[in-house]
Homo-oligomer: A and B are copies of this chain.
Protein backbone atom coordinates (compact mmCIF):
# COMPACT_ATOMS: atom_id res chain seq x y z
CA UNK A 1 0.00 0.00 0.00
CA UNK A 2 1.73 3.11 -1.29
CA UNK A 3 -0.75 5.85 -1.85
CA UNK A 4 -1.78 9.47 -1.72
CA UNK A 5 -5.14 10.45 -0.33
CA UNK A 6 -7.28 13.53 0.12
CA UNK A 7 -9.04 12.03 3.14
CA UNK A 8 -7.86 11.64 6.75
CA UNK A 9 -5.50 8.66 7.01
CA UNK A 10 -6.75 5.65 8.95
CA UNK A 11 -3.63 4.58 10.87
CA UNK A 12 -4.99 1.18 11.84
CA UNK A 13 -5.68 0.40 8.20
CA UNK A 14 -2.07 1.20 7.28
CA UNK A 15 -0.87 -1.03 10.12
CA UNK A 16 -3.15 -3.84 8.93
CA UNK A 17 -1.36 -3.78 5.57
CA UNK A 18 1.95 -4.80 7.16
CA UNK A 19 0.70 -7.23 9.80
CA UNK A 20 2.44 -10.54 9.16
CA UNK A 21 2.61 -13.75 11.22
CA UNK A 22 6.36 -13.91 10.56
CA UNK A 23 6.89 -10.48 12.12
CA UNK A 24 7.14 -9.62 15.81
CA UNK A 25 7.58 -5.87 15.37
CA UNK A 26 5.67 -3.06 13.69
CA UNK A 27 7.17 0.44 13.78
CA UNK A 28 4.84 3.23 12.74
CA UNK A 29 5.61 6.87 12.14
CA UNK A 30 2.96 9.57 11.89
CA UNK A 31 3.97 13.03 10.72
CA UNK A 32 1.43 15.47 12.16
CA UNK A 33 0.80 19.17 11.65
CA UNK A 34 2.59 21.09 14.42
CA UNK A 35 1.22 24.44 15.50
CA UNK A 36 4.50 26.29 16.14
CA UNK A 37 7.74 26.27 14.13
CA UNK A 38 10.53 28.54 15.38
CA UNK A 39 7.93 30.56 17.28
CA UNK A 40 5.78 31.10 14.20
CA UNK A 41 2.17 29.94 14.40
CA UNK A 42 0.84 27.67 11.68
CA UNK A 43 -2.91 27.90 11.04
CA UNK A 44 -3.07 24.99 8.58
CA UNK A 45 -1.02 23.24 5.91
CA UNK A 46 -1.68 22.38 2.33
CA UNK A 47 0.04 19.57 0.42
CA UNK A 48 0.12 19.15 -3.33
CA UNK A 49 1.97 16.51 -5.33
CA UNK A 50 3.04 15.43 -8.76
CA UNK A 51 0.81 12.47 -8.01
CA UNK A 52 1.76 9.73 -10.46
CA UNK A 53 5.47 10.31 -9.80
CA UNK A 54 4.98 10.55 -6.01
CA UNK A 55 3.22 7.17 -5.85
CA UNK A 56 5.94 5.64 -8.00
CA UNK A 57 8.59 7.01 -5.64
CA UNK A 58 6.75 5.70 -2.56
CA UNK A 59 6.73 2.22 -4.14
CA UNK A 60 10.42 2.54 -4.89
CA UNK A 61 11.15 3.39 -1.26
CA UNK A 62 9.25 0.26 -0.25
CA UNK A 63 11.35 -1.83 -2.62
CA UNK A 64 14.58 -0.29 -1.30
CA UNK A 65 13.55 -1.22 2.23
CA UNK A 66 12.66 -4.81 1.31
CA UNK A 67 16.10 -5.14 -0.25
CA UNK A 68 18.07 -3.58 2.63
CA UNK A 69 16.04 -5.23 5.41
CA UNK A 70 14.84 -8.63 4.16
CA UNK A 71 11.60 -9.90 5.65
CA UNK A 72 10.08 -6.43 6.10
CA UNK A 73 6.66 -5.25 4.91
CA UNK A 74 6.12 -1.55 4.19
CA UNK A 75 3.07 0.68 3.75
CA UNK A 76 3.18 4.45 3.22
CA UNK A 77 0.21 6.80 2.87
CA UNK A 78 0.66 10.55 2.34
CA UNK A 79 -2.15 13.04 2.71
CA UNK A 80 -2.81 15.79 0.17
CA UNK A 81 -4.96 18.91 0.42
CA UNK A 82 -5.64 21.13 3.42
CA UNK A 83 -4.77 19.83 6.90
CA UNK A 84 -5.56 21.27 10.30
CA UNK A 85 -3.27 21.22 13.33
CA UNK A 86 -2.55 17.67 14.63
CA UNK A 87 -3.83 15.94 11.50
CA UNK A 88 -1.63 13.20 10.01
CA UNK A 89 0.26 14.24 6.87
CA UNK A 90 2.07 10.93 6.43
CA UNK A 91 1.84 7.47 7.96
CA UNK A 92 4.65 4.93 7.51
CA UNK A 93 4.30 1.37 8.84
CA UNK A 94 7.09 -1.20 8.69
CA UNK A 95 6.87 -4.72 10.06
CA UNK A 96 9.87 -6.97 10.57
CA UNK A 97 10.68 -10.23 12.35
CA UNK A 98 12.67 -8.21 14.96
CA UNK A 99 12.34 -4.66 16.17
CA UNK A 100 15.65 -3.03 15.27
CA UNK A 101 15.07 -3.43 11.55
CA UNK A 102 11.54 -2.06 11.89
CA UNK A 103 12.76 1.14 13.60
CA UNK A 104 15.69 1.63 11.22
CA UNK A 105 13.71 0.99 8.06
CA UNK A 106 10.96 3.32 9.22
CA UNK A 107 13.36 6.21 9.85
CA UNK A 108 14.98 5.48 6.48
CA UNK A 109 11.57 5.69 4.75
CA UNK A 110 10.94 9.15 6.20
CA UNK A 111 14.37 10.42 5.08
CA UNK A 112 13.77 9.07 1.59
CA UNK A 113 10.31 10.63 1.37
CA UNK A 114 11.79 14.01 2.23
CA UNK A 115 14.61 13.51 -0.25
CA UNK A 116 12.88 12.24 -3.33
CA UNK A 117 9.08 12.30 -3.34
CA UNK A 118 7.61 15.28 -5.27
CA UNK A 119 5.21 16.58 -2.61
CA UNK A 120 5.14 20.25 -1.69
CA UNK A 121 3.88 21.83 1.48
CA UNK A 122 2.28 25.25 1.82
CA UNK A 123 2.43 26.65 5.32
CA UNK A 124 -0.40 29.00 6.10
CA UNK A 125 0.92 31.16 8.96
CA UNK A 126 -1.03 33.60 11.06
CA UNK A 127 0.61 36.42 9.07
CA UNK A 128 0.93 34.98 5.59
CA UNK A 129 1.90 31.83 3.74
CA UNK A 130 4.83 30.21 1.97
CA UNK A 131 5.50 27.14 -0.16
CA UNK A 132 8.15 24.80 1.21
CA UNK A 133 9.50 21.76 -0.64
CA UNK A 134 9.61 18.88 1.81
CA UNK A 135 13.16 18.17 0.73
CA UNK A 136 14.39 21.51 2.04
CA UNK A 137 13.64 20.52 5.59
CA UNK A 138 16.25 17.82 5.79
CA UNK A 139 19.59 16.69 4.48
CA UNK A 140 19.54 14.44 1.45
CA UNK A 141 19.91 10.77 2.33
CA UNK A 142 22.90 9.31 0.45
Contact = CB atoms under 8 A, between A and B. Distances in A.
Interface of A: 11-12, 15, 19-36, 85-86, 95, 97, 99, 102-103, 106-107, 110
B24 A34 contact: yes
This protein's copies in its complex: 2
Nearest to A27: B29
B25 A28 contact: no
Contacts of A24: 31-34
A36 B98 CA distance: 11
Contacts of A21: 34-35, 85-86
A29 to B, nearest CB: 6
Contacts of A26: 29-30, 32
